[in-house]
Structure 1
Amino acid sequence: GMEGRRVDILACVFPGRPITAEFRQVSEKRFVLNVPNPASIREFAISITKPVLPKDHGFTIYFSLPPFKDWQYIGAITMHMPSQIFSAPWRGILKEDVKGLQIGVSIETQKFIENLHPQSQYEEKKKLVSSVQGIANDLYKFLQSFSKSTQMGEMLVMPAKAMDIWLKKFEAKHKKDPFFWLKT
């Protein structure tokens, strides 16, 4: 029936919850994930776990509130950018007691995806563009500060607490300006 079978091609991470890959296939190119107690979710990550996409295709990502009739576009992932972090666009508009929402994913052509835009400028701003790259970049620059010249050439000599130090610095910068790593 419409329940659909579980497919293992995508995974979703809601911070503070176990990784979930419980997507169900509901039609040839559509997949749905039930998300319990969504009101507390600020952001989520979604990732392609198996390279099943036809060439020049990607996954478009939507969400829907009960009774699951209308779908609102959130963003897309492709084989070039197989995982993304998104701000939860439903944050602040949901009542605490909403039992669940659905995240829907659809296989679409690259052309189709390029013409889609999240529904408001506000979401555009909130969307965490290439966040992982920005954050990795910040970490890389930080680690370079430990590089020492040795007879073997440049080496990274890291104090044991280096990651803790970086994380504290990152959190401090992030508090001041949540999107600082987009600007580098």
Structure 2
Amino acid sequence: MDGKTIKLNVSGTCFELSQTSMTKLLETKSEATETLLKLKKDNNTEVFFERHPGIFPSILGYLQGREMHFPSSVCVGEFLEELKFWGIDTKYISKCCLSKVVTFTDEQKTLQIMEKDQNVKDEKRTELLKKVEGKQSWERIQARGWLVLEEPSTSVLAKIHVLIEYNEAMETVNILET
């Protein structure tokens, strides 16, 4: 490892790093750092990483002092995972690519909220269905009523209810237009 360059084999694609780039990479304290420190101990000049070879050129560019851009063919989430593996903070992503990261992060938060809401809805539906099967008649009637109002796909009555509501809404719009 005392040579002028160190070879990184990233899933079959070979890259050579200067001592300066290697030092910068070792400062990141990442998963990759552990492997590289082991390489230094063993005095090897080549190390293999089973990572995305199309992303590493962006990381290498950053290590060499250039701005870090990510390839358009790569998912933002996958790129962020690679940055985490190599121990590089997202603040080093170039400004032109940063909007994609912000959009991706916002979309992920929205998806998490939607999944949580769907899980809550599924739990309520399951609870209502259990009440429909329950022994007490009032709970059964109440649960069926809620299913008709909130779950249009549960029965013919629920579908009819939705059609009536839609029809009333359209009539109201027609009245307001005249």
> What's the TM-score, normalizing by structure 2?
0.28
More helix, by proportion: 2
Q: Which protein is bigger by CA-based radius of gyration?
A: 2
More strand, by proportion: 1
